[in-house]
Amino acid sequence: MPAALSYPGVYIEEIPSGVRTITGVATSITAFVGRALRGPVDQPVRVQSFADFTRLFGGLWQPATLGYAVNQFFQHGGSDALIVRVFNGAATDTATLTLPTASGSLVLEAASPGEWGSTLRVVVDHATRDTTDALLFNLRIEELDRPGGSRVIASEQHRNVSVDPASQRFVDTVLNEQSALVNVRTSAPVDESPSDGTVAIAAGDGSAIAPNTLGGNGSAIANTQIDGDRAARTGIYALEHADLFNLLCVPPLEREVDVADASWAIAAAYCQERRALLIVDPPATWTASASTAIATAEAGVNSLRGTIGNDDAINVAAYFPRLRMADPLSENRLAEFAPCGAVAGIFARTDVQRGVWKAPAGLAASFSGVQGLTYTMTDAQNGVLNPVGLNCLRSFPVAGHLVWGARTLAGADLLASEWKYVPVRRFALFLEESLYRGTQWVVFEPNDEPLWAQIRLNIGAFLQTLFRQGAFQGASPREAYFVKCDRETTTQNDIDRGVVNIVVGFAPLKPAEFVVIKIQQMAGQVEL
């Protein structure tokens, strides 16, 4: 009713419809954790192409597998990734550059650790908007093609910056907030701006020009860097800074060094919390001997599941064997690659083409640029690994190299898990996340019949949309899903405790994993 009916006439009042649209969340944002040439450390950075990754993290790098996995993700249909760079080094691995003033200096450091920082060069001049202000100066920061080189591959211009902390253009604030190349390590004296000139970190032979210091790439990462620290939000826990991710890939630590089972267990537990799916790569040792590869893989996946635990295994999918692809950094000679990035790309491609409820496997789940697999298995060997929840990558004539399995790690026949299949689990995670975000408006609303009716209306409308898209079993909505929120689900005791209970049921689509064709010979028919 209007606030005050004070005069005779017509009053207009807008009545809320009670409709609050629930929007489905993204399903294939893939998080990658690993080692890179450059970029922020322990911070998730969103990239939407391999060109973005190259610009921010340095692209392909032979000592690390992260760049290859990200490249294969985009190559196979991925479009949205979160990159977490982990680093095994010290503060001394960040290059520094000193700009002299009359009696002190302004010390800059590369925006992230790595040898790339040794290529930086800074040009200072005082052709500012107010040449009478000796505290104002201009900075041009350049990244060269190599330490001590001459070709500029990237540059930034910061004009009219000041060493005065009270200035709106205080150089420390401007560089730390706006520069992608440098930060301020040590402030300049408040009454002395840097001298005009060009200062490079390294000489033509690549050696540091004192007192500048060169950057370093640190040591190879270990499981410790992947596991991280939750309190400090490092390693996989850097994803606490991210709003949403659906898939998690942790490529091998090095070409010949695999992620430990204990680290997979930590990652799986975290994926369980974040409603995401972990894609596990097969260790190189599983195919070290062709004669024992299947037995080794079977024992290995059972051991992995034992370490992860059956509860967290429902959010894990493991794939075997590895891919053989051309390595652009080795004259395109064939090399072995962990399949997580390519598989995640196929997940993303399937989601776009068919939906998250479609199994990312079969004839449509083909690899691009794969020349072979590290192990070619037969149907009988596939029949050994499939029942223990290990998804196989197969090679078929004409069809090519395909993903030929769609089970979670909890999909071993012996476990009889309701989350046996990857599409069923991923669709459930999609529903959970979408409903979690789409029902935030319910909090603190009056807990009675009008609210319950609105809840049923809004969730029902969302599920009906999915039903029309073919996301559920059943010929009618009644057979496909239900939403209950009433006196039966929410008792007076629940109301007194401030609780509203919503029960959502759905009939998931399950993949036709086994196709049985029965052929019968017709006997001759006797005419009567």
Give the residue from 176, 200, 224 where a domain finishes: 200
Same domain, 384 and 292: yes
Same domain, 332 and 470: no
Same domain, 252 and 401: yes
pLDDT band (50, 70, 90) for residue 176: very high
Same domain, 319 and 397: yes
Same domain, 114 and 75: no
pLDDT digits (tens, 9 = 90+) for 105-138: 999 999 999 999 999 999 999 999 999 999 999 9
Domain of 501?
443-528
Q: Is this prediction's pTM over 0.85?
A: yes
pLDDT digits (tens, 9 = 90+) for 19-32: 889 999 999 999 99
Same domain, 263 and 411: yes
pLDDT of residue 102: 93
> Is 214 within the bounds of a domain?
no
> Is 428 within the bounds of a domain?
no
Q: How far apart are CA 274 and CA 331, in angstroms?
A: 40
Give the residue from 389, 423, 457 where a domain finishes: 423
> Is 24 within the bounds of a domain?
no
Q: How far apart are CA 73 and CA 314, in angstroms?
A: 23
> Is 437 within the bounds of a domain?
no
Task: For residue 106, give the CATH number of its domain.
Answer: 2.60.40.4290
> Is 435 within the bounds of a domain?
no
Same domain, 191 and 59: no
Give the residue from 423, 458, 482 where a domain finishes: 423
Query: Does position 1 have pLDDT exceeding 70, yes or no?
Result: no
Total domains in the chain come to 3
pLDDT digits (tens, 9 = 90+) for 370-410: 999 999 999 999 999 999 999 999 999 999 999 999 999 99
pLDDT of residue 171: 97
Same domain, 261 and 192: no
Buried b (16+ CB within 10 A) or exposed e, 66-76: bbbbbbbbbbb
Query: Does position 42 have pLDDT exceeding 80, yes or no?
Result: yes
Task: For residue 67, give the CATH number of its domain.
Answer: 3.40.50.11780
Same domain, 322 and 375: yes
Cα distances from 82 to residues 30, 190, 444, in angstroms, run: 6, 40, 34
Query: Does position 528 have pLDDT exceeding 90, yes or no?
Result: no
**DSSP output for 388-456:** GTEEEEEEETTTEEEE---B-TT--GGG--TT-BHHHHHHHHHHHHHHHHHTGGGTTS--SHHHHHHHH
pLDDT of residue 4: 84
**Are 364 and 397 spatial neighbours (Cβ–Cβ below 8 Å)?**
no
Buried b (16+ CB within 10 A) or exposed e, 80-117: bbbbbbbbebeeebbbbbbbbbeebbbbbbbbbbbbbb
Q: What does the mean pLDDT of the chain come to?
A: 95
Same domain, 362 and 339: yes
> Is 340 within the bounds of a domain?
yes
